A and B are shown apart, each in its own frame.
Chain A
């Protein structure tokens, strides 16, 4: 597609429920990143996928968070047993691995846990 697509754009969930967020990267982009952005804060790295390599999960804040990506296609970020502190905008970005190439971000999923 023309850009990085994220769905849903907004999600309100009850505390304790599981949520699944989706990212559809630009075709051909081997690298995919998930970030979390709390209100008024910078981007907090969560997880990175590069082609068929094992993902870098070093940014996941707890074992309630997990993500999958099949090959170089769609990725899903799953948050189990959501807590109020999980409320944030979750951003996905994709890129070529070339360092002279930019990152393309989606518009994000705004998650509100009530």
Chain B
């Protein structure tokens, strides 16, 4: 089962870094780790993904543990616009795979 576990909520102050954790202890060797975020009244949007190596893009960084059983989404400087629900999912090989989005982590950013 491609299940992930995330804290229900986290808080941060504006302009501080935020580290959002995700556990995926049942990850298989070919699963990709994807992160999405959902702003209020919008559909989820893609943030970043990775397989084994750490990844950086304009939105965030993804740090993947050496055993791949956990990962951390890093927002280097939180802004009020980063307040959202963040989802960590595994994308498995195979055309019939259906991604499971749990309740994610609700990030609260204080001014």
Which residues of A are interface residues toward B (Cβ below 8 A)? 4, 31, 33, 35, 41-43, 45, 48, 50-51, 53, 56, 59, 91, 93, 97, 99-100, 102-108
Contacts and interface: CB of A to CB of B under 8 A. Distances in A.
21 contacts: A33-B99, A42-B103, A43-B101, A51-B95, A56-B98, A59-B98, A91-B43, A93-B44, A97-B95, A99-B30, A99-B31, A99-B32, A99-B93, A99-B97, A100-B32, A102-B46, A102-B49, A103-B44, A103-B99, A108-B42, A108-B43
A108 to B, nearest CB: 5
Interface residues of B, number: 27
Interface of B: 30-32, 34, 36, 41-46, 49, 51, 87, 91-93, 95-104
Contacts, number: 60
Contacts of B44: 43, 91, 93, 103, 105
A103 B46 contact: yes
A40 B53 CA distance: 33
A106 B46 CA distance: 12
Contacts of B42: 107-108
A99 B95 contact: no
B98 A33 contact: yes
B98 A104 contact: no
Contacts of B32: 99-100
Q: Which residue of A43, A91, A107 has the most chain B CB atoms within 10 A of its CB atom? A: A43
A51 B91 CA distance: 18
Contact of B96 (A43, A50, A106, A108): A50
A56 B97 CA distance: 10
B36 to A, nearest CB: 7
Given A50-B96, A99-B30, A99-B32, A41 B103 contact: yes
